[in-house]
Copies of this chain bind each other. A is one copy, B any other.
Amino acid sequence: MTVTLHVCTTCKAAEAVADGEPLLGARLHAALLAGEVPEGLRIVGVACLSACNSGAAVALSAPGRWSYVYGRLTEADAPDILLGAAAYLDAPDGIVPWRARPAIFRKQSLARIPPLEITNV
């Protein structure tokens, strides 16, 4: 099982960023790549997750599983995002018990999308 964590690299939230300085989303992406990335987790930067009112945002997804989108993140959240992604990886169906989710996953959900039925693939 490979799980994908898409990271919006263009999010800047309401942050003012000087020319040439990395945007909040890019900093979050870098912090995630530099963290304790569990085996089986693929971290992929994406230009925009269209969650611009709730950036910085990430999305967790895997074949046959619910997808989850979280927002209002900062690079300080990278360790918790990676812990939450590891729990999603380890859960046989990707559904992590509520109490086992990091607080940012419990409180900063933007949306989740059910898996497509296999018959549709």
Contacts and interface: CB of A to CB of B under 8 A. Distances in A.
10 contacts: A44-B114, A49-B111, A51-B112, A62-B120, A63-B116, A63-B120, A67-B67, A67-B113, A111-B111, A113-B113
- Copies per assembly: 2
A4 interface: yes
Interface string A51-94: 11010010101110001110100000000000000000000000
Interface of A: 2, 4, 6, 44, 46, 48-52, 54, 57, 59, 61-63, 67-69, 71, 109-114, 116, 120-121
A59 B111 CA distance: 9
Contact of A50 (B2, B54, B111): B111
